[in-house]
Amino acid sequence: MARKDARERLVQFLDRKVFDPILDKSEDEFSSQRERERLRDVKDSTASEKSRFHHDYQTAAAVKDNYQSDVSSDAGKRISAEARELGLPTLPGVRGEFLELCDKLDVE
């Protein structure tokens, strides 16, 4: 499989499973002002993260490495905890599927 295709498939996976569901979530689905503020915080972080995956990481290996780094970073853990409390998907929540896709695509 072409390296560019593997990178695209990994980024599309993260878009479909994590980034887009968060970014598409409406504040109207939350009743409290606190939850809406937390959603805005999670959406801001997610938009920035999605942009990095799309524009900064040029290889499938870079996507995989940065995914693993984001999952284990303090900021990543904080955002994942907030997202989980709001009932949103998280990067750690798709870890098994993501790593399985990496194996399937022969990404080291």
* % residues pLDDT > 70 (the chain): 96
Domain locations in the chain as residue ranges: 3-104
- Whole-angstrom Cα distance, residue 91 to residue 99? 11
Q: What is the DSSP letter of 15?
A: I
Residue 48: phi, psi to the nearest 5? -65, -45
Q: What is the rounded average pLDDT of the residues 86-90?
A: 97
Spatial contact of 70 and 61, defined as CB atoms under 8 Å apart: no
pLDDT at 108: 87
The pTM for the full model equals 0.92
46: nearest Cα among 96, 8, 86, 97: 86
pLDDT digits (tens, 9 = 90+) for 12-44: 999 999 999 999 999 999 999 999 999 999 999
pLDDT at 3: 61
- Average pLDDT taken over every residue of the chain: 95
SS3 content of the chain, % helix, strand, coil (to 5): 80, 0, 20
